[in-house]
Amino acid sequence: MLVVDNILMAPASGLMFILKQILHAAEQDQANEADNVRAQLSELYMMLETHQITEEEFTAREATLLDRLTRLEEEDTDADS
């Protein structure tokens, strides 16, 4: 009976494996995106310090990046709950 159960459950087990892999890939993408935003913020600070952008440009771009980072971190916190 155990062999029959394994055969009948194989499609569901395969689907669960695929769904777990998709979830893992999505989590990795989200982590990589957060790292990318942090790198952009760092570059933005460097541009301000080297006077490549004005204070106004910096403020606008920083706000956009910080909002994006906050959303990513909130999504990460919600996923952990």
Q: How confident is the model at residue 44 (pLDDT cuts 50, 70, 90)?
A: very high
Q: Which two three-digit tokens encode residue 77?
A: 């916190």
Which of 11-15, 23-27, 59-63, 70-74 is least confident?
A: 11-15
Q: What integer pLDDT is reported at residue 1 of this predicted model?
A: 57
Q: The pTM is what?
A: 0.64
Report the mean per-residue pLDDT for the chain: 88
Distances (CA, A) of 27 to 49, 66, 73: 34, 20, 12
- pLDDT, tens digit, 9 for 90 and up, residues 2-39: 777 777 778 888 888 999 999 999 888 888 898 999 99
Residue 78 is which amino acid? D
